[in-house]
Amino acid sequence: MPGPCPEEPRGNRLEDEMKKKRVKLLARILLIAVIPFLALLVKNRYDFGEWDPRSLPNRIGCYDRTYYVGPSSPSLMNGGQKPACAVSNSDNRTGRELFTSEPKGDLVPVVIYLKLSDGRYQQYILSGGQ
């Protein structure tokens, strides 16, 4: 007749429980860090047509219209070339400054400019439809 089962040492059971708690805590922290990052990527893709939040957007929504990136690369504008009229923040979802060459008035501008840095602007052109 076999004897009673030897009990597992108590120290091993506590170590296993501590390891499980650490893994659960690490998983929670990782989940909390990853979800906002993924939400940012999806929002950026939806708003600007680009996954990378650090890159220039392919499109910009302004004045309830869609403007697509112009055919030229960002250019340095100085003096009389600089666009003069700023677009209001309520129409701007980029977080950067948008400008037009002429004031809005009754017509929606055909071209807007995204300010990148001192004197550098990227041109965006109206898509033609709403």
- Whole-model pTM? 0.59
**Both tokens assigned to 108:** 């929606």
What's the pLDDT at 5? Answer: 60
Confidence band, pLDDT 50/70/90 cuts, at residue 84? confident
Q: Where are the domains of the chain?
A: 9-55, 59-126
Mean pLDDT, range 59-63, rounded to an integer: 81
Q: Is the pLDDT of residue 91 over 70?
A: no
Mean pLDDT, range 32-43, rounded to an integer: 84
**Torsion angle of the four alpha carbons 27, 32, 33, 38, in this order, in degrees rounded to the nearest 10:** 110
Q: Is the pLDDT of residue 7 over 80?
A: no
